[in-house]
Amino acid sequence: MLRAHTVEDVRRAEQAAMAVLPAGALMQRAAAGLAAAVVDLLGGGYGRRVLLLVGPGDNGGDALWAGARLAGRGARVEALLLAERVHAAGLSALRGAGGRAIRELDDLDPAPDLLVDGIVGIGGRPGLRPDAVAALERFAGVPVVAVDVPSGLDVDSGRIDGEHVRADLTVTFGTHKVAHLVDPASTACGALHLVDLGLDLPAPAVEALQPHDVRALLPRPGPSAHKYTRGVVGVRAGSSTYPGAALLAVAGANTGLAGMVRYVGPAQVADTVRSAHPEVVGAGRVQAWVVGPGGGDDAETMLAEASADGVPVVVDADALRHVSGPVPGRVLTPHAGELAAMLGVERAEVEAAPFDAVRSAARRWECVVLLKGHHTLVADPRGRVRATTTGVPWLATAGAGDVLAGVVGALVAAGLEPYDAASVGSWLHGAAATRAAGGGPLTASRVAVQIPGLVRETLAGLG
């Protein structure tokens, strides 16, 4: 499990570690990991030109000490000092190793191979000062390695407010931070590299499933299993206007994760569904419902009829408009616009702070909420949050959410708790989309087709 913590949790863990370690040990570990990551990215150290952007905090100190290590390996290292006072020992080490520290942008060498962002630490406020912005603009297009987090982000909320660094690689220390996993800040982090500092940390603020976590959670049939014991998922979706939504929701549900799929909907749509999916049967008892995709004016009735069965319900698309009051046991699967309407706010507010929005929604409706996005977030009423880091931008395509709802519903029917079902379903959906896209465009139906093979490989430990 990839775990991300708040600034306060990290600081407490660092203070506890520093109480028992030699002075400066944590910074040296961080600097060594940062220098190694820079060398790896550059393909070597000797003769490379590295520019450090150094602010007043410990991140600036990490950058200076890493610069000293790089200079010792033959790199030409310069440090642009963006504060009156910087880490004194790190600055002395850089100069002692042959590096150069300057305060004027015009005195820099013209063409560094790489920038190291040590401008603002994890406790900094969003936005950057003009001198930092000027330096970044001067060297636009040069690869950037961020120290711990790209400067200018709100670390604990993932918000972006003002100018900020966009990193190609972020080297973080001790643990991931919330901004690494939560949009919109996560889009500024580039690739992530964690340097282990051996910190004793509390429960994380955000988690991200990895293949071995998904493997442990995936339901698998026992030797005496039959279609009913493996779970039956029902789908109430589609209309004469949107029959394709029913097909896609059923395609997500009918990926072999549950033992049986039932479809209940307009007769003409039902004929189309069963023509494409002959395994699908009609009304009967289920362990979970998927309701809403393409339901149109019938979505309210669909939701009421599914709710009457007293089983978990995955509520998507048109059915979300009819959710009211606490709904324990449900999984709501909105995108930003749908969640904004449910919360009575503007879409831009949800997109600016999805971490805050999804937690608020989970508390308000007392159920699991899956907020779709670049990094889809899953929250429960207890405050737990998971971020999905699988997927590709091509997944932003019509019908993809219908498939996701079907996958989540099948996992609930198969026995997973709603929080785990939503998390695993989102992971599978993103990973299947990556396979289906192959670096190019894809359609939603191709995502569903990839899931059985992906599950097989994940269970085999090949993911």
Determine the pLDDT at residue 109: 76
Same domain, 203 and 217: no
Residues 132-140, mean pLDDT to the nearest whole number: 95
pTM reported for the whole predicted model: 0.95
Determine the pLDDT at residue 188: 97
Same domain, 137 and 75: yes
Residue 32 C-beta-side C-alpha neighbours within 13 Å: 8
Same domain, 173 and 217: no
Same domain, 355 and 454: yes
The answer, yes or no, to whether residue 173 has pLDDT greater than 80, is: yes
Question: Where among 164, 179, 208 does a domain terminate?
Answer: 208
The answer, yes or no, to whether residue 108 has pLDDT greater than 90, is: no
Same domain, 271 and 417: yes
Write a three-state SS string for 77-100: EEEEECCCCCCHHHHHHHHHCCCE
**In sequence order, what are the beta bridge partners of 79?**
52, 101
Number of domains in the chain: 2
Determine the pLDDT at residue 107: 81
Determine the pLDDT at residue 261: 98
Is 424:416 a contact under the CB 8 Å cutoff? yes
Omega of the bond leading into 418 within 30 degrees of 0 (cis)? no
- Give the tens place of pLDDT for each residue, 280-309: 999 999 999 999 999 999 999 999 999 999
Residues 399-424, mean pLDDT to the nearest whole number: 98
Determine the pLDDT at residue 284: 97
Positive or negative torsion for Cα 296, 298, 301, 303: negative
Phi-psi map region of 186: left, alpha, beta (phi>0 left; psi -120 to 50 alpha): alpha
Determine the pLDDT at residue 32: 98
CATH code for position 86? 3.40.50.10260
At residue 463 the predicted structure's pLDDT band, cuts being 50, 70 and 90, is low
Determine the pLDDT at residue 110: 81
- Give the tens place of pLDDT for each residue, 137-165: 999 999 999 999 999 999 999 999 999 99
State which residues form the domain around 278.
211-459
Determine the pLDDT at residue 67: 98
CA–CA distance, 412 with 294 (Å, rounded to integer): 21
Q: Residue for token digits 């910087």?
A: 86
Q: How far is CA 36 from CA 25, 69, 194, 235, 312, in A?
A: 17, 9, 12, 52, 49
Helix (H) or strand (E) holding 385: strand 385-387
Determine the pLDDT at residue 327: 94
- Give the tens place of pLDDT for each residue, 227-254: 999 999 999 999 999 999 999 999 999 9
Same domain, 195 and 248: no
Same domain, 218 and 180: no
Residues 33-59, mean pLDDT to the nearest whole number: 96
What is the token pair recorded at 283?
A: 């009304």
Residues 361-380, mean pLDDT to the nearest whole number: 98
Alpha helix stretches (DSSP H) within 225-381: 243-253, 267-276, 299-307, 336-343, 347-352, 354-365
Q: DSSP for 96-129?
A: HTT-EEES-GGGS-S--SEEEEESS-TTPPSS--
Question: Where among 208, 243, 271 does a domain terminate?
Answer: 208
- Give the tens place of pLDDT for each residue, 435-446: 999 999 999 999
Exposed / middle / buried, residue 220 (Cβ in 10 Å: 0-12, 13-18, 19+): exposed
Helix (H) or strand (E) holding 146: strand 144-147
- Residue closest to 254 by CA, chosen among 406, 415, 436: 406
Same domain, 180 and 222: no
Residues 24-40, mean pLDDT to the nearest whole number: 97
What is the token pair recorded at 404?
A: 């996701």
Phi, psi of 311 (to 5 degrees): -115, 165
Determine the pLDDT at residue 430: 98
Same domain, 321 and 441: yes
Same domain, 217 and 180: no
Alpha-carbon 411 to chain mean position: 20
Residue 205 DSSP class: S
Same domain, 15 and 144: yes
CATH code for position 283? 3.40.1190.20
At residue 389 the predicted structure's pLDDT band, cuts being 50, 70 and 90, is very high
**Inter-axis angle of helices 243-253 and 400-413, nearest 10:** 40
At residue 123 the predicted structure's pLDDT band, cuts being 50, 70 and 90, is confident
Q: How far is CA 250 from CA 23, 236, 259, in A?
A: 60, 9, 13
23 in helix, strand or coil?
coil
Q: What is the mean pLDDT of the chain?
A: 96
The answer, yes or no, to whether residue 319 has pLDDT greater than 70, is: yes
CA–CA distance, 253 with 413 (Å, rounded to integer): 10
Exposed / middle / buried, residue 210 (Cβ in 10 Å: 0-12, 13-18, 19+): middle
Q: Which residues contact 340 (CB under 8 A, 6 or more apart)?
A: 346, 347, 349, 350, 357
Is 75:203 a contact under the CB 8 Å cutoff? no
Same domain, 272 and 417: yes
- Residue closest to 424 by CA, chosen among 388, 396, 449, 463: 388
Q: Which residues contact 29 (CB under 8 A, 6 or more apart)?
A: 173, 195, 197
Exposed / middle / buried, residue 197 (Cβ in 10 Å: 0-12, 13-18, 19+): buried
The answer, yes or no, to whether residue 38 has pLDDT greater than 90, is: yes
The answer, yes or no, to whether residue 456 has pLDDT greater than 80, is: yes
Question: Where among 208, 232, 252 does a domain terminate?
Answer: 208
